């Protein structure tokens, strides 16, 4: 598409609320420029980086500025990714600028503190400019980008530099980042002959075989189709993913696999590396922007056949993509909760559809939405009903914590046993397991030592000054923390209300449980895994490795411990208080509870020895627990889906959540009410499928967060497009002013 059709380029600047801007294309650049490349453009007095999303022959604008430079040799976004971006702007009521700033690694900006670092090795350098730049960088070892741009001013520095980055000759580091890790794999020479991977020695089970068989045509020939691999924990889902990846690679097609959190799945990475040596690209949140670009370029150049990453890896620019896998597809971490609020699993399916490639979703506890889609025939259901080698599922039992049901005879006994949080049954089981030299997991989805501090004299509760939340006591670091905004206060002895020494810790978290375990089992090797013990780089992986090697006997943790570890020595799982996730004001509370319980229970008995799971609860009759005891996902689904149908919640309806935020409570409330009235007036117009329910406005359950007050409205309807239209109308009204409107399509957290 050369010539007149390319006179003007549509350029998106990756920043919130920006639509494409028009620039003219100087004839010198015309031949090199294509859709999906980055360009340097003037914006006001600044020079900024943008991405070309299209061309036109004419413009109605009178004054158009020129593109200054082309920064890439080849498009960094291919047409299918651009289509996906476009789809996202419409579905999530967002702008292309915002979408691109989420999709692309942070862009190289002009005047920043970045350092160009020379890398050793032999590189095929391009033209004279590249050689000169490389010589300069090599001479000094490292040089500020600013200095370099002064030395080469007036020449096409950025384009040449990008090429040097892309061939690995130099790296661009951010000056402030010191601790650089997580660069496993980088710097490995890539041998084009290395496409031979290590074949698996395992003989597939008949169920694994059948699952692959169903996908055969799509893996071989391509074409869109969504498969839901519903396989109990330990049934060999990962093996199925890897075989499917091998299949598509035989046809020179690449795979993308999404996992909930990379740092929690070192075992999966090990397995991928072993199976596809030197062929795995990893994208994770600990990468610096420069490392992210390095990975991005490796992926674009097709140097890896498998890309693995968390949520945002759904955007990775894999050429010739033949398969997208979403492991643990039910996991809430696929939903981004800030900025562009997208769902990576849903986008994986959309991307597969745009590209025409199969999408494989896997889980032992599928989301209600996905299982419903499978039942409706939109997804193909593949089942693995047994653990590999016929290992038995763990035996699950509940312990009723209610007073009347307990083994104790009087309240004094009850209190003393409750003070320990371990029912006699769980205590005995732990004792036995230790005696047999086996490992135990203790799960509690709340960290800290006490949930809050209260004065037992005047009732004063220590709260966060920024949020409508009480502060959690953490003993080891002697601090009171807000789990929402990170506010920290030292623990004083006196009640701020009445100045007495009367503050008492109420409630409990993992830190308290750890202390109790050490008291109950002196000398036991107890470990704890939650956000407090894993905040240092590498500490989490260290804990997981110790656990794998059996150096920890009892591991206490939050939901971090529920995911993917496959440790053969674990035969007991205890759940301290299973009701925590059930009592949240959220229509997915039961689903979330069932998933958490099944996942954590699935950690038990993965070796030769059978596993045992003990669930402590005040609500033993709740269907979430009853079906968890029987490992009956389909039973759970049947009950849950009835509840959803009765209350018209997803998958029987679509939701759009509107949150109004501002620093002045009266203003927020007033604006939310005005919006509510507008919506209700519009709602009366709708009929049938276009009917919309408007719930609220009301204060959000967490009314104040990070010093901002929050009100919300929930829109509910059969289809999402009428909901979106309404939301977009409001968006225009709220684009200026002190109260901001956040639109969340298919919301997860409405707190
Ligand atoms: P899931 O992902 O369903 O929890 P995994 O794929 O992790 O299950 O498999 C559990 C264990 O069983 C792993 O150690 C894996 O190597 C092993 N495994 C998988 N498939 C087979 C098979 N066909 N034969 C023997 N062992 C297998
Ligand atoms: Zn706070």
Q: How do residues 240-254 score in pLDDT, each as one tens digit?
A: 999 999 999 999 999
Residue 372: per-residue pLDDT: 97
> What sections of 265-406 are H helices per DSSP?
266-275, 289-300, 344-355, 368-375
Per-residue pLDDT, 113: 60
| Lowest-pLDDT range of 96-110, 356-370, 387-401 | 96-110
Decide which of 3.30.70.2700, 3.30.565.10, 3.10.450.50, 3.40.1440.60 is the CATH code for 8-108: 3.40.1440.60
For residue 208, the ligand closest to its alpha carbon is 1
What ligand is nearest to the CA atom of residue 240? Answer: 1
Residue 188 above 50 pLDDT?
A: no
Residue 58: pLDDT above 70? yes
> What 3-state class would DSSP assign to 578?
helix
How sure is the predictor about 189, in pLDDT bands with cuts at 50, 70 and 90?
very low
The reported pTM is: 0.84
**For ligand 1, atom 17: residue with the closest CA:** 236
From-to residues of CATH 1.10.10 in the chain: 112-176
pLDDT of residue 228: 98
Nearest atom in ligand 1 to the alpha carbon of residue 564 is: 4
In the reported structure, the alpha carbon of residue 388 is separated from the centroid of ligand 1 by a whole-number distance in angstroms of 6
Query: What class has domain 395-449+508-645?
Result: alpha beta
Which ligand is nearest the CA of 563, by number?
A: 1
> Long-range contacts made by residues 489-494, C-beta under 8 angstroms, separation at least 24?
489/462, 491/453
Looking at domain 205-390, its CATH architecture is 3-Layer(aba) Sandwich (3.40)
11 phi and psi angles, rounded to 5 deg: -115, 130
Which atom of ligand 1 is nearest the CA belonging to 602? 4
Closest by Cα among 512, 626, 628 to 562: 628
Does residue 362's CB lie within 6 angstroms of at least one atom of ligand 1? Answer: no
- Per-residue pLDDT reduced to its tens digit, 63-101: 899 999 888 888 999 999 999 999 999 999 998 988 998
Whether residue 109 is predicted with pLDDT greater than 60 in this model: the reply is no
For residue 234, give the ligand nearest its CA.
1
Ligand 1 atom nearest 267 alpha carbon: 7
Task: Examine the pLDDT at 685 and tell me if it is beyond 60.
Answer: yes
pLDDT at 510 over 90: yes
Q: What pLDDT is attached to residue 557?
A: 92
The rounded percent of the chain whose pLDDT value lies above 90 is 47
Cβ(236) – ligand 1 distance below 6 Å: yes
CATH top-level class of 654-745: alpha beta
Q: How confident is the model at residue 17, as a pLDDT? A: 58
User: Would you state the pLDDT for residue 215?
Assistant: 97
Which residue intervals of the chain bear CATH 3.30.70.600? Answer: 654-745
| pLDDT tens, residue by residue, 445-474 | 888 888 888 888 888 888 888 888 888 888
**Range from 196-200, 206-210, 277-281, 636-640 carrying the lowest mean pLDDT:** 196-200
According to the model, what pLDDT value does residue 237 have?
95
- Quickly state the pLDDT bin for 419 (edges 50, 70, 90): low
Looking at ligand 1, which residue's alpha carbon is closest to its atom 6?
Answer: 236
Confirm or reject: Cβ of 238 under 6 Å from ligand 1.
yes
User: Is the C-beta atom of 235 inside 6 A of ligand 1?
Assistant: yes
Of all protein residues, the one whose alpha carbon is nearest to atom 23 of ligand 1 is 204
Q: What is the CATH number assigned to the segment(s) 112-176?
A: 1.10.10
Residue 186 has pLDDT above 70, yes or no: no
- CATH 3.40.50.300 range(s) for the chain read 205-390, 395-449+508-645
Contacts 24+ apart (CB under 8 A), 81-84: 81/36, 81/315, 81/317, 82/35, 82/36, 82/53, 83/354, 84/315, 84/347, 84/350, 84/351, 84/354
Tell me what the pLDDT averaged over the chain comes to.
86
Q: Is the pLDDT at 355 greater than 90, yes or no?
A: yes
Q: Is 285 left (phi over 0), alpha (psi -120 to 50) or beta?
A: alpha
CB of 516 closer than 6 angstroms to any ligand 1 atom: no
CA angle 646, 648, 652 (to 5 degrees): 110
pLDDT in tens, 215-232: 999 999 999 999 999 999
pLDDT reported for residue 18? 67
């Amino acid at each position: 598409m050369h010539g007149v059709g390319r006179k003007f380029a549509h350029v998106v600047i990756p920043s919130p609320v920006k639509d494409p801007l028009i620039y003219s294309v100087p004839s010198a650049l015309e031949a090199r420029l294509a859709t999906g490349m980055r360009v340097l453009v003037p914006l006001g007095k600044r020079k900024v980086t943008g991405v070309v999303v299209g061309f036109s022959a004419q413009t109605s604008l009178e004054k158009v500025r020129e593109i200054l430079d082309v920064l890439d040799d080849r498009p960094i976004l291919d047409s299918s990714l651009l289509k996906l971006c476009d789809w996202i702007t419409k579905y999530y009521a967002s702008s292309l600028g915002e979408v691109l700033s989420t999709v692309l690694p942070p862009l190289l900006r002009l005047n920043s503190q970045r350092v160009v670092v020379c890398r050793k090795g032999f590189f095929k350098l391009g033209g004279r400019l590249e050689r000169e730049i490389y010589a300069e960088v090599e001479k000094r070892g490292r040089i500020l980008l600013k200095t370099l741009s002064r030395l080469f001013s007036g020449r096409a520095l950025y384009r040449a530099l990008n090429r040097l980055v892309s061939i690995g000759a130099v790296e661009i580091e951010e000056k402030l980042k010191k601790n650089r890790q997580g660069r496993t794999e980088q710097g490995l020479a890539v041998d084009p002959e290395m496409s031979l991977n290590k074949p698996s020695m395992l003989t597939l089970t008949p169920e694994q075989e059948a699952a692959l068989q169903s996908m055969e045509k799509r893996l071989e020939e391509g074409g869109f189709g969504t498969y839901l691999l519903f396989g109990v924990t330990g049934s060999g889902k990962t093996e199925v993913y890897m075989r499917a990846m091998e299949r598509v690679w035989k046809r020179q097609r690449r795979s993308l696999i999404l996992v909930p959190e990379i740092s929690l799945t070192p075992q999966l990475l090990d397995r991928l590396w072993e199976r596809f040596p030197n062929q795995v690209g990893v994208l994770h949140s600990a990468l610096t922007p420069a490392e992210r670009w390095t990975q991005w370029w490796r992926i674009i150049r097709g140097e890896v056949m498998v890309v693995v990453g968390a949520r945002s890896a759904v955007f990775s620019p894999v050429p010739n993509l033949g398969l997208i896998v979403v492991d643990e597809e039910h996991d809430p971490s696929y939903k981004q909760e800030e900025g562009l609020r997208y769902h990576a699993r849903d986008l994986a399916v959309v991307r597969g559809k745009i590209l025409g490639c199969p999408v494989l979703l896997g889980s032992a506890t599928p989301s209600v939405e996905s299982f419903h889609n499978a039942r409706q025939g939109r997804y193909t259901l593949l089942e693995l009903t047994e653990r590999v080698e016929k290992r038995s599922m763990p035996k699950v039992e509940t312990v009723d914590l209610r007073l009347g049901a307990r083994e104790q005879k009087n309240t004094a006994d009850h209190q003393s046993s409750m003070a320990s949080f371990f029912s006699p049954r769980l205590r005995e089981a732990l004792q036995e397991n230790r005696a047999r030299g086996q490992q135990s997991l203790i799960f509690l989805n709340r960290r800290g030592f006490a949930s809050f501090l209260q004065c037992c004299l005047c009732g004063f509760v220590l709260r966060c000054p920024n949020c409508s939340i009480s502060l959690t006591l953490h003993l080891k670091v002697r601090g009171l923390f807000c789990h929402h905004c990170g506010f920290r206060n030292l623990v004083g002895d006196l009640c701020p209300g009445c100045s007495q020494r009367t503050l008492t810790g109420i409630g409990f978290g993992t830190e308290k449980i750890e202390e109790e375990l050490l008291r109950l089992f002196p000398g036991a090797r107890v470990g704890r895994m939650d956000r407090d013990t894993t905040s240092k780089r590498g500490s989490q992986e260290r804990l997981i490795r110790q656990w794998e090697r059996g150096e920890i006997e009892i591991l206490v943790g939050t939901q971090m411990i529920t995911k993917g570890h496959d440790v053969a020595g674990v035969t007991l799982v205890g759940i301290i208080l299973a009701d925590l996730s059930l009592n949240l004001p959220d229509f997915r509370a039961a689903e979330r509870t069932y998933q958490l319980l099944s996942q954590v229970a699935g950690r038990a008995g993965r070796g030769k020895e059978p596993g045992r799971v003990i669930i402590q609860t005040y609500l033993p009759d709740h269907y979430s627990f009853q079906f968890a005891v029987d490992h009956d996902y389909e039973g759970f689904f049947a009950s849950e889906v009835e509840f959803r149908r009765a209350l018209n919640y997803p998958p029987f309806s679509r939701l759009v959540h509107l949150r109004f935020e501002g620093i002045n409570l009266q203003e927020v409330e007033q604006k939310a009410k005005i919006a509510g009235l507008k919506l209700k007036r519009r709602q009366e117009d709708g009929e049938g499928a276009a009917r919309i329910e408007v719930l609220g406005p009301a204060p959000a359950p967490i009314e104040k967060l990070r010093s901002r007050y929050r009100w919300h409205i929930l829109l509910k309807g059969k289809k999402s497009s009428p909901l979106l239209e309404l939301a977009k109308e409001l968006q225009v009204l709220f684009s200026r002013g002190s109260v901001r409107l956040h639109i969340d399509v298919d919301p997860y957290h409405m707190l």
